[in-house]
């Protein structure tokens, strides 16, 4: 869990205020006995360890697998989506995704008896590149769990056109665009960009649906209807 916090992963809200330090060690070292520190005995290969900002810690893919024992399936999918998403050019320090679906599956193959492995196997089949936030993942899962077709992510009116804005999700064949507006959409600058994006889709003849935190709190039931 500590590695997930240091990486800024989309952990469930009930873990976000956790002040415990989770420290993993091999079996050869003595147990961890210190207040505020939770010890874990793990089997980790060298390629599953990295140094991030001077701290020796598990790689993003290994951290994702470790979280499988603690977080619900939909959150594990959301974290997987975050790992495989392409960073925004000019907005993020990274230029490559944290991981790939192939790397996540390789991690599962290395640890077939690890606690949470069944959930992780189910989650990796649902991971998709393109989600920019956990609520977007939850919205996609709510739609597909209701029996609707799986939507395209980051759907553009004109695919590949850098001047064509993208909606979070959509059904191109039906000309339907779907947007989740989180808290950052309340700023004046973002609202201006949103208005231009919305007008672009409307002028192209698309039906446009927008959802927000209230819909998220209700499990996106309105979105499904």
| All domains of the chain in start order, with CATH | 2-124 (no CATH), 134-224 (3.40.960.10)
Is pLDDT of 18 > 80?
no
Those residues whose C-beta lies under 8 Å from the C-beta of residue 81, and which sit 6 or more positions away, are 127, 128, 129, 130, 131, 134, 136, 137
Q: What pLDDT score does 113 carry?
A: 92
Q: How far apart are CA 138 and CA 71, in angstroms?
A: 14
Cα four-point dihedral sign 149, 153, 157, 160: negative
Model pLDDT, residue 30: 66
> pLDDT by residue (tens digit) across 95-137?
899 999 999 999 999 999 999 999 999 999 999 999 999 999 9
Q: Which tens digit of pLDDT belongs to each residue from 170-192?
A: 999 999 999 998 765 566 677 78
Is-contact 182 133, C-beta < 8 A? yes
Residue 28 has pLDDT above 70, yes or no: no
Give the CA distances from residue 211 to residues 175, 215, 216, in Å, rounded to whole numbers and listed in that order: 17, 6, 8
The strand pair at 176-180 and 166-171 is best described as antiparallel
Q: Sign of dihedral through CA atoms 146, 149, 154, 156?
A: negative
Nearest to 134 by CA among 24, 47, 8: 8
Asked if 137 and 143 count as a contact pair (C-beta separation under 8 A), the reply is no
Separation of alpha carbons 196 and 72, rounded Å: 36
14 token code pair: 């009930």
Q: Judge contact between 179 and 168, C-beta under 8 A.
A: yes
**What percent of the chain has a predicted confidence (pLDDT) above 70?**
88
| Whole-structure pTM value | 0.88
The whole-chain average pLDDT of the chain stands at: 88
Percent of the chain with pLDDT over 90: 61
Split at pLDDT 50, 70, 90, the class of 37 is low
Sign of the dihedral defined by the CA atoms of residues 176, 181, 186, 187, in that order: negative
User: Within 10 A of 173 (CB to CB), how many other CB atoms are there?
Assistant: 8
Q: How many CB atoms sit inside 10 A of residue 25's CB?
A: 14
């Amino acid at each position: 869990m500590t590695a997930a916090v240091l990486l800024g992963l989309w952990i469930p809200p009930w873990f976000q205020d956790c002040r415990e330090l989770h420290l993993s060690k091999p079996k050869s070292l003595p147990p961890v006995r210190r207040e505020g520190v939770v010890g874990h005995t793990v089997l980790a290969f060298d390629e599953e360890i990295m140094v991030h900002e001077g701290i020796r810690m598990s790689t993003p893919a290994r951290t994702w697998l470790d979280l499988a024992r603690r977080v619900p399936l939909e959150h594990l999918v959301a974290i997987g989506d975050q790992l495989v998403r392409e960073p925004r050019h000019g907005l993020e320090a990274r230029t490559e995704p944290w991981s790939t679906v192939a790397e996540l599956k390789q991690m599962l193959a290395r640890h077939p008896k690890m606690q949470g492995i069944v959930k992780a196997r189910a989650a990796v089949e649902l991971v998709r590149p393109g989600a920019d936030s956990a609520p977007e993942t939850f919205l996609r899962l709510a739609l597909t769990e209701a029996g609707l077709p799986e939507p395209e992510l980051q759907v553009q009116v004109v695919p590949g056109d850098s001047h064509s804005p993208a909606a979070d999700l959509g059904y191109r064949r039906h000309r339907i665009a779907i947007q989740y507006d989180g808290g950052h959409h309340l700023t004046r600058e973002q609202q201006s960009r949103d208005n231009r994006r919305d007008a672009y889709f409307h002028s192209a003849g698309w039906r446009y649906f927008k959802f927000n935190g209230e819909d998220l709190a209700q499990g996106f039931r309105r979105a499904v209807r």
